[in-house]
């Protein structure tokens, strides 16, 4: 599933929310944070497990990302940054919050 946030005004109505099934499930998250020039400057990448009971009781899931400072400029810097998104140093503290 692909979603752009914030969604463009002319996006289909279902782009403004992501419906998560209320069942126990494992997900592969790949969130890429882009600057205004659509270049990657951070993100979040991890496998997560969500319980259906947590989802059914929740009104929102908050996805956090990391931003690389200074922003990567070269293709090599961007590639290294994207590889770092898998590092547990980032994935654990930035885990999604169900509330």
The position carrying tokens 């059914």 is 56
Is the pLDDT confidence value at 7 over 90? no
- Domain residue ranges of the chain, discontinuous segments joined by +: 18-98
Q: pLDDT of 74-84, one tens digit each? A: 999 999 999 99
Residue closest to 43 by CA, chosen among 6, 97, 91, 88: 91
Q: Is the sign of the CA dihedral 38, 69, 72, 85 positive or negative?
A: negative
* Burial class of residue 44 in the structure, from the number of CB atoms within 10 Å of its CB (0-12 exposed, 13-18 middle, 19+ buried): buried
Q: pLDDT of 20-34, one tens digit each? A: 888 999 999 999 999
CB 50 within 8 A of CB 74: no
């Amino acid at each position: 599933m692909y979603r752009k946030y914030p969604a463009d005004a002319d996006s289909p109505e279902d782009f403004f929310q992501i419906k998560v099934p209320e069942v126990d499930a494992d997900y592969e998250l790949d969130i890429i944070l882009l600057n205004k020039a659509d270049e990657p400057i951070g993100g979040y990448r991890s496998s997560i497990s969500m319980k259906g009971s947590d989802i059914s009781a929740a009104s929102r899931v908050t996805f956090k990302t990391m931003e690389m400072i200074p922003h990567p400029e070269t293709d090599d810097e961007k590639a290294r940054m994207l590889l770092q998104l898998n590092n547990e140093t980032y994935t654990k503290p930035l885990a999604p919050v169900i509330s």
